[in-house]
């Protein structure tokens, strides 16, 4: 059952089980290491997924208790809540990760490439300005984001 959400700039939402969500963020984290200025975002994204074997006991799928922050983390990333620069970094990392996932497959990530392609298609549609309800995992468009998340605010 889908319980984790990534919201695009137009309010459309990608939803998957926690494993798919975590693997997408891990791809971004991996690639942000090689983007000048991307490391602070990578470090913040690492806090949005559990440490394997340490925090998985508290994992409820949709969220987990993060012992590093002493707080509950929901698996919901609204990319609009990131600074404009971090949004750019995030999507650059996703594009680079897509290439590596296709070339290296399971040696790079355990993420099902079909899931990633569905996620990437939604990103492309949002970038093109296509109607967000035509390809959206929710029955509504997410309300405008007023939160500020991640480094740089």
Q: What's the mean pLDDT when you consider all of the chain?
A: 92
Do 11 and 17 touch, CB atoms closer than 8 A? no
Flag whether 127 is in a domain. yes
Model confidence at 59, pLDDT cuts 50, 70, 90, reads low
Other residues' Cβ atoms within 10 Å of the Cβ of residue 39: 15
Flag whether 24 is in a domain. yes
Closest of 97, 73, 78 to residue 14, by C-alpha: 78
pTM for the full model? 0.92
Flag whether 98 is in a domain. yes
Flag whether 93 is in a domain. yes
Whole-angstrom Cα distance, residue 120 to residue 58? 30
Q: What domain count does the chain have?
A: 1
- Higher pLDDT: 54 or 111? It is 111
Whole-angstrom Cα distance, residue 47 to residue 44? 5
Flag whether 103 is in a domain. yes
Flag whether 146 is in a domain. no
Whole-angstrom Cα distance, residue 47 to residue 91? 18
On the 0-12 / 13-18 / 19+ scale of CB atoms within 10 A, 94 is: buried
Flag whether 143 is in a domain. no
Flag whether 152 is in a domain. no
Range of the domain at 101: 4-134
31-49 pLDDT, tens per residue?
999 999 999 999 999 999 9
- What is the per-residue pLDDT for 1? 53
């Amino acid at each position: 059952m889908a319980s984790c959400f990534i919201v695009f700039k137009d309010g459309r939402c990608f939803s998957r089980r926690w494993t798919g969500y975590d693997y997408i963020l891990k791809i971004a984290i991996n690639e942000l290491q090689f983007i000048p200025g991307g490391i602070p975002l990578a470090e913040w994204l690492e806090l949005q997924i559990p440490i394997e074997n340490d925090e998985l006991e508290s994992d409820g799928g949709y969220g987990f208790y993060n012992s590093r922050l002493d707080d509950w983390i929901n698996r919901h990333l609204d990319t609009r809540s990131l600074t404009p620069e971090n949004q750019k970094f995030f999507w650059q990392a996703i594009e680079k990760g897509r290439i590596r996932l296709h070339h290296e497959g399971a040696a790079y990530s355990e993420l099902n490439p079909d899931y990633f392609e569905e996620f990437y298609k939604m990103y492309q549609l949002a970038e093109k300005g296509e109607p967000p309800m035509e390809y959206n995992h929710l029955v509504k468009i997410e309300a405008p984001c007023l939160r500020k998340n991640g480094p740089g605010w």
